[in-house]
Amino acid sequence: MCPEPACMRAAGICAVSSDFARPSTNAAKAYLFRTMQARDLLHPRPEGLYCPPGDFFIDPVRPVDRALITHGHSDHARAGHRHVLATQQTLEIMALRYGEDFAHSSQAGSLGETIDVNGVRVSFHPAGHVLGSAQIAVEHGGIRIVASGDYKRAPDPTCADFELVPCDVFITEATFGLPVFRHPRPRDEIGRLLKSVSQFPERAHLVGAYALGKAQRVIRLIRDCGYDHPIYIHGALARLCDYYDTQGIDLGPLEPATVERSAKRDFSGAIVVGPPSAFADRWARRFPDPVTAFASGWMRIRQRVKQRGVELPLILSDHSDWDELTRTITETGAREVWVTHGREEALVRWCELQGVTARPLHLVGYEDEAE
């Protein structure tokens, strides 16, 4: 007997079931029954994670009729869906990035409030990833699945702290799902940046940081360390920084890092924040003898740092490190863990060692933390 439900066969999905053996004991039968129930509630399709009873997708990578969005990063939040349900801040960020007409219609979900979507109970809970980011809890037929989206447990002054939601099945990201990823304390990283600024006052410090979330967090952390000079930002960051300001996140004095040809200003001693790609570009030539810094969890690995030609790596991530991932899995009490985008195999192995059922979801279309 093929253990696939009819709807999955109809959708042409069968690869996900290949790692399940036929049930041979009663315990295995009971387990398979629960698993099938969970997989009836959410399972991968080429468009993204699909909920058949609620007829919606979570973070679909292609345009769909009804999408629930965890957060505003472009690989999770795409334009062109018919109906979007997300937190108010995520909706506003999508409107900033894609224009007001990013979807045919949209609905804001308040944090903690339960919304009925075709009989499925859905709720949003802070994920601590970036402003507006939320985990999505999906509950139906006595099963609760939490899709984490991207999340971190470390405190972040630019977004709400992660909220732990007990669940039966936890869908975790695995961007930094290897035991080597252990993020140091953010203030130590910013401390190294500020020390370098004082050591090399004649040079400009270029801090590469993803435009949504990381950039604002870096700026806010710099302020928390007492640096009150203007910080110069690349044009790609301006609207999002303004938006953070309207949400009550004070980033201090920001100035454009663009200059008129005629009035070349001196960037000696300045901190300049911009998307990492800009610093390899001709744009960066206006800065005197720049120190290239890059704020990312990938900066943990020296070879990555060297490959990118980064002189001052800042190990600062909006994703959970290994310790946060494993701690969260334990704390949710989930009896089953589905692992998506990242280094799934190590986290699946860890779950096996803990006696927690785990499998990779093999969702397509999500990037590593932006580089």
Applying CB under 8 A, the residues found at the interface with other proteins are 178-182, 184-185, 192, 196, 199-200, 279-285, 289-292, 300-303, 305-313, 323, 343, 345-346, 349-350, 353
Tell the smallest beta-carbon distance from residue 293 to other proteins (Å). Answer: 10
Between 55 and 311, whose beta carbon lies closer to other proteins?
311
Nearer to other proteins, 9 or 185 (CB): 185
Residue 196 amino acid letter: S
Rounded to 5°, the CA angle 97-99-104 comes to 120
Let me know: does 342 contact 335? Beta carbons within 8 Å. no
**Nearer Cβ to other proteins (16/301):** 301
For residues 58 and 68, give the distance between their C-alpha atoms in angstroms, rounded to a whole number. 5
What's the token pair of residue 111? 């944090």
Report, in Å, the least distance between residue 156 CB and other proteins.
16
- Residue 294 C-beta: closest distance to other proteins, Å: 11
Q: Where do the H-state alpha helices sit in the chain? A: 6-10, 26-41, 88-98, 186-199, 214-224, 238-246, 276-279, 302-307, 322-332, 344-354
| Cβ-based nearer residue to other proteins, 83 or 304 | 304
By C-beta, is 264 or 282 nearer to other proteins?
A: 282
User: Of 129 and 308, which has the nearer Cβ to other proteins?
Assistant: 308
Q: Which two tokens stand for residue 135?
A: 């985990």
Residues 6 or more apart whose Cβ sits within 8 Å of residue 107 = 83, 84, 85, 115
Nearer to other proteins, 18 or 199 (CB): 199
Cβ nearer to other proteins, comparing 162 with 350: 350
Closest by alpha carbon to 252, among 262, 264, 244, 260? 244
Distance of closest approach, residue 167 Cβ to other proteins, in angstroms: 24
Cβ at position 74, least distance to other proteins in Å: 22
> Least separation, in Å, of the C-beta of 5 and other proteins?
32
Q: Would you call 303 helix, strand, or coil by DSSP?
A: helix
User: Between 130 and 312, whose beta carbon lies closer to other proteins?
Assistant: 312
User: 169: alpha, beta or left, given left = phi > 0 and alpha = psi -120 to 50?
Assistant: beta
Give me 362's structure tokens.
């093999």
Q: Please return the burial class of 53, using the count of CB atoms within 10 Å of its CB with bins 0-12, 13-18 and 19+.
A: middle
2 vs 180 by CB, closer to other proteins? 180
CB of 281 to other proteins, least distance (A): 6
The closest alpha carbon to 38, from 208, 168, 147, 128, belongs to 168
Distances (CA, A) of 217 to 145, 187, 271: 29, 11, 14
CB 51 within 8 A of CB 35: no
Find the shortest distance in angstroms from Cβ 50 to other proteins: 30
Separation between Cα atoms, residue 160 and residue 133, nearest integer Å: 8
Q: How far is the CB of 205 from other proteins (least distance, A)?
A: 12
333 contacts 167 by C-beta, under 8 angstroms: yes
Query: How far apart are CB 309 and other proteins at their closest, in Å?
Result: 5
The region that residue 355 occupies, defined by phi over 0 for left and psi between -120 and 50 for alpha, beta otherwise, is left
